[in-house]
């Protein structure tokens, strides 16, 4: 029996495949390599000693997706594949809806036709929008503020309705907070396309000298130092959360929405200082106006993941920055 990982050569996908293989799961990766490289397969092999079976297929191609299920006995799916840039989604919303929704619909239809009824879905804390309070628990209302987040919310709803129509399904919706860091081997990590949208990849490029200074998007929020506060979680902690979610899905039916965060919030300037310490580099910065769509504070209530999955994040912000810097130094151009 195999686990199919869509988007498995990507940042979170590749880290999850490493942990799945370490747990002796048979892993099959499908990816169209739009936002990743086949080199990730070699890195997974180097870390684990196992070269995962790989299909270079776009999930928009339903006929080719059928072949994967025809050729393999797939017990469960972890669905990472999708476009994920918040800013880009605002400028090309139709592309985001077309890709992120149709790929999920194709996957669900093919899974159902092959009686594969266990899915772990890569959702995001962005579905909560600007929360009325923090920490955020899974009962909070959803209110997205950009097309990317809305595709996550729509996909959650599609999967919920799939379960309602067929109670033999197990659906786990994992809501990630802010994934950062890299495997401690330095062999896999985050490879942003072009100018990084997210904080830590941008800070990493300031530390390597690729960028002159960090633009801090606003310091007039009602937070510890006026800059945005987020719940940064080590990507390996996130990957381990997926292992627990797969094991839970194997023994339960129904739909569960689960936050994957640390429950701790750090400001932009606190992360900058942690990265400066990890890299030994001065991180120059300038305070700019707020970024449209940004919220002040966001961090997780982590009780449900601990009670239901027996999972909690273990790595601290210093380790996240150390592992990110280690990857950055060893891969100045990312995993290409
Ligand atoms: C974090 C903080 C910025 C860059 C988004 C998505 C979320 C997930 C992670 C995919 C904010 C500040 C950032 C910079 C800055 N992505 N910042 N200068 O916006 O919390 O979440 O990415 O799943 O779904 O919504 O992450 O890293 O972009 O920003 O000051 O150059 O850093 O204002 O306060 P965000 P981020």
- Best of 134, 174, 178, 202 for a ligand 1 pocket test (most atoms within 8 Å of beta carbon): 178
- Best of 291, 297, 317, 321 for a ligand 1 pocket test (most atoms within 8 Å of beta carbon): 291
Tell me, what DSSP letter sits at residue 169?
Answer: -
Cα gap 239→255, rounded to integer Å:
20
User: What pLDDT score was predicted for residue 287?
Assistant: 98
Residue extents of the structural domains in the chain: 2-180+232-263+300-314
- Look at the block and give the residue holding tokens 């799945």: 20
- Nearest alpha-carbon partner for 97 in 149, 49, 140: 149
Q: Catalogue the active-site residues.
A: 148
pLDDT per 10-residue tile (average), the chain, 336 residues: 96 98 98 97 98 98 98 98 94 97 98 98 97 98 96 98 98 98 98 94 97 98 98 98 98 98 98 98 98 95 98 98 98 90
Question: What's phi and psi for 164, nearest 5 deg?
Answer: -60, -35
Domain 2-180+232-263+300-314, classified CATH 3.30.420.40, yes or no: no
**Residue 92 Cα, ligand 1 centroid: separation in angstroms?**
19
Q: Which of ligand 1's atoms lies nearest the C-alpha of 227?
A: 34
Cα gap 41→50, rounded to integer Å:
9
Is residue 126 helix, strand or coil? helix
**Residue 229 Cα, ligand 1 centroid: separation in angstroms?**
10
**Residue 83 Cα, ligand 1 centroid: separation in angstroms?**
16
**Residue 27 Cα, ligand 1 centroid: separation in angstroms?**
31
User: What pLDDT score was predicted for residue 278?
Assistant: 98
Q: How far is CA 38 from CA 7, 32, 61, 238, in A?
A: 11, 10, 19, 22
CA 312 from centre of chain: 16
Q: Which of ligand 1's atoms lies nearest the C-alpha of 179?
A: 9
Tell me, what DSSP letter sits at residue 266?
Answer: E
User: What pLDDT score was predicted for residue 122?
Assistant: 98
Is residue 110 helix, strand or coil? helix
DSSP strands (E only) in the chain: 2-6, 26-30, 53-55, 74-79, 118-124, 170-176, 178-180, 214-217, 229-230, 232-234, 254-260, 266-267, 285-288, 297-298
Q: Is 219 in the pocket of ligand 1 (CB under 6 A)?
A: no
């Amino acid at each position: 029996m195999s686990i199919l990982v869509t988007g498995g050569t990507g940042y979170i996908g590749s880290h999850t495949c490493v942990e799945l293989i370490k747990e002796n799961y048979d892993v099959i990766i499908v990816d169209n390599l739009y936002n990743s490289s086949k080199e990730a397969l070699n890195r997974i092999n180097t870390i684990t000693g196992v070269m995962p079976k790989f299909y270079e297929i776009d999930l928009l191609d339903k006929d080719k997706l059928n072949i994967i299920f025809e050729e393999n006995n797939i017990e469960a799916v972890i669905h990472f594949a999708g476009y994920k840039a918040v800013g880009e989604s605002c400028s090309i919303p139709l592309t985001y809806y077309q890709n992120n929704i149709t790929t999920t619909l194709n996957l669900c239809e093919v899974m159902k036709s092959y009686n594969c009824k266990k899915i772990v879905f890569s959702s995001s804390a962005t579905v909560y929008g600007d929360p009325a309070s923090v920490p955020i628990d899974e009962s909070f209302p959803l209110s997205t503020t950009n097309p990317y987040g809305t595709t996550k919310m729509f996909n959650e709803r599609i999967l919920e309705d799939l379960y309602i129509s067929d109670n033999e399904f197990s659906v786990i919706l994992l809501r990630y907070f802010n994934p950062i860091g890299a495997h401690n081997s330095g062999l896999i990590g985050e490879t942003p396309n072009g100018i990084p949208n997210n904080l830590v990849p941008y800070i990493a490029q300031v530390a390597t000298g690729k960028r002159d200074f960090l633009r801090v998007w606003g310091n007039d929020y009602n937070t510890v130092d006026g800059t945005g506060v987020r719940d940064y979680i080590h990507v390996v902690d996130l990957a381990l959360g997926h292992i627990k979610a797969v094991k839970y899905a194997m023994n339960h039916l129904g739909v569960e929405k689960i936050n994957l965060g640390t429950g701790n919030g750090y400001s932009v300037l606190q992360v900058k200082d942690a990265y400066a310490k990890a890299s030994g580099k001065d991180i120059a910065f300038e305070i700019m106006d707020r970024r449209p769509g940004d919220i002040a504070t966001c961090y997780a209530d982590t009780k449900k993941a601990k009670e239901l999955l027996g999972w909690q994040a273990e790595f601290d912000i210093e380790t996240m920055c150390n592992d990110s810097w280690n990857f950055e130094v060893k891969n100045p151009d990312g995993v290409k």
